[in-house]
Structure formats: C-alpha cells, structure tokens
Amino acid sequence: MGETRVLLVEDNVINQRIAKHMLVSFGYSVDVAHHGAEAVTVLEKSIYDLVLMDCQMLEMDGYTATKIIRDPASRVLNHDVPIIAFTAILHSV
C-alpha cells in the first residue's frame, strides 16, 4: 500500500508551508493548490485520499470548490474524496 496522498488547498504561502511541513512529518505525501479553482483542476487529473480545504480564499473559496468536486457532472475523478474544511485567521499585532 502506498503513501496517503493529501491535497492541501490554501492561498496563504506561510500557512501552506506550516501545514505541508506538519503533514509530511506525519508521513503523508502532500501537494498544494493555491485556490479552489486550482484544486478542481488538480482533482480532474489525479486521485487523492484526502483534501484539506481552506474555506476562505480569494480566487475560488472552499465552499464553491467543494460544490464542484461533489457535482457528479464535473470532471473530477473522485467525487467522494474526503474533504476537511479549515480556516486560519491571522491577526496583525
């Protein structure tokens, strides 16, 4: 059995680096999409075991991307891929 493949969908570069580092340290294979539209494109070409989806992104948010992923008429290869929604709130001090 191969590595667990995770697609991390996050538009903030710092959050991408932190999340990817944590996931790789747990033994997962991680690819990054920078927004929901890119995630949909990636999922049209590859199968993942899990998607970690930021809810709030500028180009296409996680809610819209999830609707497309779940739509049986979309070109996504696996409409049933588990999607975990998250959001990171950064505050400047």
Q: Is 86 exposed, middle or buried (0-12, 13-18, 19+ CB in 10 A)?
A: middle
Nearest to 34 by CA among 60, 67, 5: 60
Is the pLDDT reported for residue 71 higher than 80?
Answer: yes
Q: Rounded distance, CA 11 to CA 26, Å?
A: 22
Q: What is the pLDDT of residue 22?
A: 94
Task: Name the pLDDT band for 78 (thresholds 50, 70, 90).
Answer: very high
| The residue to which tokens 């995630």 are assigned | 39
Q: What is the DSSP letter of 68?
A: H
Model pTM score = 0.91
Q: Are 54 and 62 in contact (CB under 8 A)?
A: yes
Q: What is the pLDDT of residue 91?
A: 46
Q: Rounded distance, CA 56 to CA 4, Å?
A: 25
| CATH number assigned to the domain covering 5-86 | 3.40.50.2300
